[in-house]
Structure formats: structure tokens, C-alpha cells
Amino acid sequence: MINLDWAKIYLTKHKLVPLPSMGKKSKGKEPLVEWAGIQELPSVEQVEAWFNKFPNANIGTKTGKVAGILVLDNDGVEITQLMPLTPTATSRPGHFHSFFKNPDFYVPPSASKIGEHLDIRCDQAFIVLPPSKHFDKVTGEIDGEYTWIDGMSPDDIPFAPCPDWLIAKLKETISQNHGFDWSGAFGVGIGGRDETLARAAASLAGKKFNYEVALSILRGINSTYPETKEDPRPDDASLIAKLDSAFKKFKPSDPDVQKSLVDLLDRFSSVQKEIKFKLQSGFASLDRSIQGFRSGAFYVFGGLKKSGKSSLLMNILSNLLKSGTKVGYIDTELPFGDFVNRFTAISTDNKVEDVEANKKMGEQWLQKNKDLLFYANKKEIQDTNGFSKNLLKTLLKQWVDMGVKVVVFDNLTTVNTESDGNKKGWEKLADFVDELIDFARDNQILVFAVIHTYPSLIFSETPEGIRHLLEKEKLEDVFKKSITINRRPSARDLYGGGGALSQISGGVLLLWRPFQDFNTPAYRERAMLILEDFRNGSILSEIEMTFKMEKLKFNEVYSPEINFPSEYTPRNTGAENPKQEVGEAGKPKQEMQVDFMETFKADYEIQKEKKKLADWNNRAKEGI
């Protein structure tokens, strides 16, 4: 029994808390014995009993005060700060567990709080040890094992103290979150509730809350979770059990911290009362789905580059301007002239090229909306160090004082700059998002932000010509001749990821144009707006649309026969009357009935006949 031998070494020589772990669903990371209440090192006899009962289990240890260690779990990122020589394990290339002496303050477990893909395992946490098996995250099958890096096992070198930069990061994170991400604790979907409630209980106990106060807060968090008959929220006995387990280690007191979190819970409970207004988008299905864009919230418009995100948002803003709503627009990409031309075309239902040719149209539209639309480019929120939160805050405050209710930041992707040694790009983006979210909530305005999604394509060859291009070594033309279909996006595809966008309070609107790179208008115009809840990833609604590029105009389409790729069939258009087909001037959308594959086959036959005719002509010329 190899792992029993290792367990004895870890216990007697390195003073760790060896625990058997396994479970295919938990990827081998779930302890098989009760461990949360362990407050001292177990006896050798106890360890032998555990591993005799589970002889084929993985091996891990409780981290934190009992074992005297903190583990930095690096899931494949480069650390630019100085790392001391300390025992380090790995499960696959680029992924490391660095073992340090635990600091002299309470450190709760965290994921991507001190940096993207950098997790902390310390108090109330568990970590797998070599020579455990490693399980694939997707399949759950064994794909390797944990090993100590040569010369860096605890037999080779002692556990080093945490480096100063890590201590500073830990204290900063704990200070901001009270040891727990309270902003993400509310409204958690099915699957994440037990873990969230357990971590909340540990944080409340660790911060020395009075037991009754802690239980009331835990009950308040639990009350925000949606439930159905099939999936009820955790019962009160479950909450008490979690809190009892957490309180075994800690003693109550610290009224200042108690008050701060009770205030936070009270604030959350009164959010609905604080909503000052809701605004309609002008798209019937969208407005039915979200019941209006609410004040104090932050909404993200995501999609691929050149998919029409800004144009869709301008379609909505055009409707708001017509109703007299004041809008502030920060544009970090377009020159002011192009911005005006686009907005004018959308608002007046003219082609963009006509607006560009007739400058008076843009001037007239701008004059008409001069008291409603406020504009800023990226230079107005930049200083010598790049984007400035202080300049942003000053600008937004000026706009609010002038009665602005809606603020747009287009495009947030431009904020995600390179790491400067102090902060990574996603951290800078997160700072900006937090600033916008706080401002929206504190001033009860509505904030829209545009951001790119990472590209994910499906390439499919045209029926003929690819082999010819490859033989002629014209590789760049392969992509011009190929069909490019864009995969359906989700919130996890947003640039910056969860670490940057975890505080979104409104929702995510994802624009999907699967055929946006096609030349045929009947396909290129097809679009779907996907409304996704960022907190739990659930789909709120899916709205089919068309996008007229020459006018930058979006229209809803109530047709169940729109031909999206079969593997991405939409589930619900949100339309009250799905048989109704709406187009410009009330005309039916006949082109939406065209079957993609049938049209493609027809094009193929035409091209084949053309090629045959060309071959005959060439032969005739050459006298063959």
C-alpha cells in the first residue's frame, strides 16, 4: 500500500494531515473521511485506519494552521514576481502546487482572487499530494499523476515562508472581500450553493461573528437562491450543520465586522426598492425577456469583432434618444465622424454610404440630439499611464449632473492592456468594470459595456478548388474560398473571463452571427441575440434577428424556420406568435426560408457546369 507509506512519511516527518481522497466526479480531490473539524495532527493509528479502509484512494492533506502550510495552486500562468525555493508538486506541464509556511493570519480558500488561475488553499481547505492520480477535468478519467519536482520535495528542501508580494496580495483580497466573495454569494444557481454556503459559514466563523448573527446572514444568503419543486434550496438543518462545522474552530466576537456584513445583506435585500427607472429597448421580445433595463445595473454586449455589437446597441440607444433619454457614450475605437455617421444612418433609416456622402444629414441629426447625447473618446479618460479611473469617474459625474441616465463604454476590450509588472491585463479590466458597476449602483444610472468574445470558428471546405489551391501553394486563398461558420458564443467566451467580469449585476447579451463572413446576404444577415445570466450561465432568452449592414439596422424575426447550423438549434425565440414573420414595411421574410444546404448544392452544380464549359473552351482554343 504505497499511499499508506507516503501518508506515514507526510505525518511523522513533515507534520502534514494525510487524508484519503477519491471520487470520479470530484477528480480525486474529495476527502473520504470527515476532515473539516480536524484541529490537530492525527495519530499514526488513525492514519493507518483511514488508508486500510480506502487502500486505493488518492492522498491529500488539510492545509492551514493544523498542517502549517499554505498552497499556491498555479493553473498554468507565468508568475513574474520572485518565487522562493520551496517544495513544489506538478500534475502536468505548466501546473504547479507551491507549498509555503502558512502566515500568522486567517486565509480562506480562494479561486483567481489574487490573480487569474492562481488559487489559494489554506484555512478550511484541502490539497492533493503526490503520488496521487490526476483526473481529466472533462472525462473524469485518470490521465497522469502528481509528482514532486526533482530536488523540490519536502524531503529535499523545507517549506519556505510566503513571499512578501503574496502576503500583500492575500491581505488585500481578504480586506476587500472580508475573506469571502460576498458579491458572488447571492442568487447562486444549482450546483454551486453548498460550496458557497460552506465557504460563507467558514468566513463568518473565521471573522468571529456571533453565532446567531452568522446564522441569520447565512439564512439571508440562502433565501436569494431560486428554487423549484425538483430543486429546492438547502434547508435550515443544512445551514446549521455547515455553521456548526465552521464554528468548531472559532470563537465569537468582533462587532465591527458583524455590522459591516449585516449592512451588506440589508443593502442587497433593498436593491429592488432602489431601482429608480426601467428603460425599454424598442425590441418587443427583448423587452419581454428582461422586463426593461433597470437603473443601477451593468449590462454587457458581447460578440465577435465586426459582428455588429455597437450597431445593435446604437439601435437601442436610438430608440431611447427618441423618447428623450439622455445618453453618455464613451467610444474608444471610432473617429467622431464615423460615430455620427453610424448613429445617423440607424436613426434616420438611411444607408451609411448615403450619410457619408451627405454631411448635412449627420450635422442635422447631431444638432437635433445635442442636448441628449454626450460623447467622449478614449483620450478624455487617459493620462500618461493609460486609462485612468479618476478621469473616468470625473467624466461620469459630470454627465450625471447633466441628467444622463444611460452610459455606454465601447469598447471594454481596449482596456485589457499588457501586464505592467504590477497588474495583469485582466486585472486592469476588472478594475474598470468594478468602477463602472459601483458608479452605476451608487448613482442609479444604467451602464452598457461592449466587449469582444474570443473567436471560435468552424471551417468547412467548398466542394471544389481546395486541393487545387494547396497544390499551387496558395495557402492564403484557402480561407477566402472556405466557408467560415462562427460557433455559438457564451459568457465564458468574453474577453477577460470570469476574473475580470465576475461582478456583473445586470446580464450578458451575446450577439451571434454564424454566417457573418459569408458573401450571400441571405445568410450574412442572420443573427441571434442570446440573453445569458452571468451568475449561473443560464439562458434567459434567445431572440432571432436580421442585420441590414448597409443601414446597420437590426430587426426581430418571428420565424421558427430560420436555418441556423443544426447543432446549434435555438431553443426559444421569446416571440408570442412564432408563426408571424416580420420584415421591413411588413413584408414577409422570404429569404429566411432558404435552405442553406440546398442553396449550397445548387451553387456547386452551377460552378461544376461553369468549370466544364471553361474546360471545353480551353480545349477548343488549344485545338485538342
pLDDT in tens, 13-33: 999 999 998 755 545 577 888
Q: Is the pLDDT of residue 565 over 90?
A: no
Q: Give the model's pLDDT for residue 3.
A: 76
Phi, psi values for residue 450, rounded to 5°: -95, 140
Average pLDDT, the chain: 75
**Calpha distance 449→58 (Å, rounded):** 45
* SS3 call for 98: strand
Evaluate the omega torsion of the peptide bond into residue 521 and state whether it is cis, within 30 degrees of 0.
Answer: no
**Calpha distance 32→552 (Å, rounded):** 59
Q: Give the model's pLDDT for residue 575.
A: 35
pLDDT band with cut points at 50, 70 and 90 for residue 567? very low
**Calpha distance 496→115 (Å, rounded):** 12
Phi-psi region of 112 (alpha: psi -120 to 50; beta: other; left: phi over 0): left
| Residue-wise pLDDT tens digits, 143-184 | 788 999 888 899 989 999 999 899 888 877 765 554 455 545
Range name among 252-266, 339-353, 460-474 with the lowest pLDDT average: 252-266
pLDDT band with cut points at 50, 70 and 90 for residue 275? low
Q: Is the pLDDT of residue 459 over 70?
A: no
Q: Are 142 and 135 in contact (CB under 8 A)?
A: yes
Q: Is the pLDDT of residue 454 over 60?
A: yes
Say which CATH class 278-453+489-593 falls into. alpha beta
Q: Give the model's pLDDT for residue 563.
A: 41
pLDDT band with cut points at 50, 70 and 90 for residue 435? confident
The dihedral through the CA atoms of 151, 152, 154, 159 has a sign that is: positive
Higher pLDDT among residues 224 and 262, named by residue: 224
Q: Give the model's pLDDT for residue 77.
A: 83
Q: Is the pLDDT of residue 507 over 90?
A: no
Burial class (CB in 10 A: 0-12, 13-18, 19+), 620: exposed
- In the chain, % helix, strand, coil (3-state, to 5) comes to 40, 20, 40
Q: Give the model's pLDDT for residue 15.
A: 93
Q: Are 563 and 547 in contact (CB under 8 A)?
A: no
Q: Where are the domains of the chain?
A: 1-175, 278-453+489-593, 459-484, 595-624
**Calpha distance 394→412 (Å, rounded):** 18
Q: Give the model's pLDDT for residue 86.
A: 92
pLDDT band with cut points at 50, 70 and 90 for residue 124? confident
Q: 2-12 and 44-53 helices cross at what angle (nearest 10)?
A: 160
Q: Residue 186 belongs to what H/E stretch?
A: none
**Calpha distance 120→70 (Å, rounded):** 7
Give the DSSP letter of residue 453. Answer: B
Cα distances (angstroms) measured from residue 86 to each of 77, 356, 501: 18, 64, 33
The predicted model scores a pTM of 0.48
Q: Is the pLDDT of residue 579 over 50?
A: no
Higher pLDDT among residues 420 and 463, named by residue: 420
pLDDT above 70: percentage of residues in the chain: 68
| Residue-wise pLDDT tens digits, 332-383 | 888 888 888 898 999 888 888 888 888 888 888 889 998 999 999 888 888 7
